[in-house]
Chains A and B, each alone.
Chain A
């Protein structure tokens, strides 16, 4: 089976990429989705707060996904549901398997990687203690509650203050569970401020910063956890132990872009994002293979996923239409002071764009500060003021083409606190 464009994943990124590619004239598109319906993780995010940037209104996750699914229905995009991609080759053959279609090989001119991310687990952070039932990643618990309709526990301690953990603190409370504490190893929260306020503070759930779980106890089901304060080295401080009697531990300790397929295809990866390295049009190191959404870097707002994926979809459509010339000048975007990563990592200066959106995260809480972009000579190309920045909130700057044309060599993005 041949398509111009094959999109791996039918969550918010895949949906937006498909719609954008269709709008730009690509008429042979297939989305491969492993679940039985489109929408991805949005389907289990029944809380509101989605779409404030993109639609200027507050939607729930399923409503937000629904808008794009409705739009897709008006196109001729093929959708393979309940279908798993087993392999993507460097020459863009996509091997899939499904109950309906059996084993198929889709040949594509362009591929958009939109597989999303997975949650870090207990094993990844090596929490000591026994191995009873009752330890869930926050997203798995969210699925049990919101999709399956089952509670996962009655007395809950949440480790990590990522957004899903915060949302689940509120959700479990509304379902009648007692959330005893949210425990965060860093001195700041990993989630959005609005979620701290609306999901913890509004329900009097204490947030223990610079704390972690140092022991899980219980033979069959969790019976209690020990929480300790940690020092600047993030090691527990003896003598600071607190014990919580609980039957459930939810983990919200980070998300990992799901790039096993990208790696097997040979896409060059960025160790800082755990995602592919991309150019300004979301193209990876393999020409014709694009990446967007949480597979590229973990976002905190789906609105930005939608915008990023639309760029990838448009670029993939252009790629399928052909006629691209090889770039002559590639600018590397480097991380300076306090900057954890940037996306894109590379800009092709002589391709067709008006401005490049550069996304990044700071590595620590920053007060009033300036984001400074310099070139290889140390000359400042652009600067942006910020009142406050936090690792839990993705930053975004726009670099117009005129500024990039002036730059010598590569760019460095750094943060200078006032």
Chain B
């Protein structure tokens, strides 16, 4: 019997696992994929929003501000890449300038610190790549960029290290209310638990439906992105938005914590939350809109295109409340933007609700909420030398674009949540994230994975289950 079971291990589920891991509770996390951070968490704008956007009085507004306050310290504790770079919202005409003033006032009400309204000349002085017809900007210095899957993995790993149980490949297929507990049917067996947290992201409505009452409709919204080479990483130094519309915060350009430039997303409703394809028309749209903000953006520098799906629903706000038909389930659903920004605050708030629902929160002795990760390329020369002298495996560079060493890849493989795929290594160590997109290091990472996991290279996956890379040995057979 578990005390609390978290369904879904994206950044929301992981934040909850991390937050709950400090208490004397038996906590279970059920994730249907073969790794954590496999949904929206790995495909989004990677922004911590300042919080001027959500309407004052909403949960989104409150949790965004609180999340933004918590994020820097959390990322420091967990060795997650984070950088407070600030953001601009651009205006191109007087009507949009009025919109900026409205955002400014909303931001002040929400409690966003340090905002300023700039004229076009001042905006271009700070961001020389902006278009000549930018006539105003809302500057929010507290906006930040972050490694979203890095945060999720770090939180989940730290939770596991502090006693939380994680079951992968355990998609929930049904929930039975037993009065004093809930019985969860999953792909890996049945689990009994006192309380359930529905953190299933784009599929949270399906978990809700298992309670017998469909409380909201899912309106998944797909956004497409370009990721540009590091040669474009300094084109802008802040997150550059355009005025938000009903469809969302619109196409942004932003440096990433990995040194690239991210451009996107558009917003189109899709029927299936797993529909993460990109389209010619969609990428053209992103290109055209981004050039309006920064005409010099060179999309030939693209190293990857991808899309992510927002967990939009029929309710405008986050859905964080007990299930109507199953009082032992707490929905933490409809977490669209600013979900990543709010994640630590969502966890804080949801845990408070859990306490109100009857969960006893007793802090446990020996909780260690910190995590360290070696990143060879970020070390100064003397520390690089010392590290390689201590452990020569940090002296073998496997990913040449990102300078990721064998030692870092081994750290990832032997971490609390061991990855089984090449992309799992990419999300943890960064190998394959660079301009050659794993063309060089892919076969080498695959080889290391097979060696360490003691399987054949034929068993190593690209990413999720079924994404096999190799199909057979050649006629001459595999190398000895």
Contact = CB atoms under 8 A, between A and B. Distances in A.
B442 to A, nearest CB: 6
B442 A140 contact: yes
Contacts of A34: 397, 400
A252 B207 CA distance: 44
Contacts of A132: 462, 467
A118 B302 contact: no
A34 B466 CA distance: 33
Nearest to B278: A128
- Size range of the chain A interface in the assembly: 35 or more
B439 A150 contact: no
Contact of B305 (A98, A123, A219): A123
Interface stretch (A23-31, A151-159, A185-193, A405-413): A151-159
B357 interface: no
Interface string B377-396: 00001001100110011011
Most chain A beta-carbon neighbours within 10 Å: one of B303, B396, B457, B476: B396
Given A97-B384, A148-B457, A220-B467, A123 B474 contact: no
Interface string A208-238: 0000001000011100000000000000100
Contacts of B467: 132-133, 220-221
A357 B310 CA distance: 57
Given A97-B397, A150-B478, A236 B471 contact: no
B385 A103 contact: yes
A122 B457 CA distance: 23
A2 B304 CA distance: 41
Contact of B396 (A95, A98, A123): A98
A139 B439 contact: yes
Contact of A151 (B385, B392, B401, B471): B471
Nearest to A235: B280
Nearest to B391: A99
B43 to A, nearest CB: 10
A322 interface: no
A402 interface: no
Contact of A148 (B274, B439, B443): B443
B74 interface: no
B469 interface: yes
Given A84-B397, A121-B303, A128 B385 contact: no
B439 A119 contact: yes
Given A140-B439, A140-B443, A147-B479, A99 B395 contact: yes
B227 interface: yes
A99 B406 CA distance: 10
A129 B278 contact: yes
A149 B476 contact: yes
Q: How large is the interface on B (under 10, 10 to 19, 20 to 34, 35 or more residues)?
A: 35 or more
B435 interface: yes
A124 B400 CA distance: 18
Contact of B277 (A128, A144, A221, A260): A128
A194 B400 CA distance: 33
Contacts of A97: 384, 388, 395, 397
Contacts of A118: 435-436, 439-440
Contacts of B437: 121-123
Specify which of B299, B302, B458 lies most central, judged by the most chain A CB atoms within 10 Å of its CB.
B302
A102 interface: yes
Interface string B254-289: 000000000000000000001011111011000000
A131 B306 contact: yes
A175 interface: yes
Contacts of B468: 133, 220-221
A280 interface: no
Given A140-B439, A147-B479, 8 more contacts: A99-B392, A101-B395, A119-B439, A128-B283, A140-B442, A145-B474, A149-B476, A151-B473
Interface of A: 34, 82, 84, 86, 95, 97-103, 118-119, 121-124, 126, 128-134, 137, 139-140, 143-145, 147-154, 175-176, 214, 219-221, 236, 247, 260
11 contacts: A84-B396, A97-B384, A97-B397, A99-B393, A100-B392, A100-B395, A124-B303, A137-B439, A140-B438, A150-B471, A220-B465
| In the A-B complex, the 9 residue pairs with the closest CB atoms | A220-B466, A123-B304, A133-B462, A103-B385, A84-B397, A149-B478, A133-B467, A99-B392, A150-B470
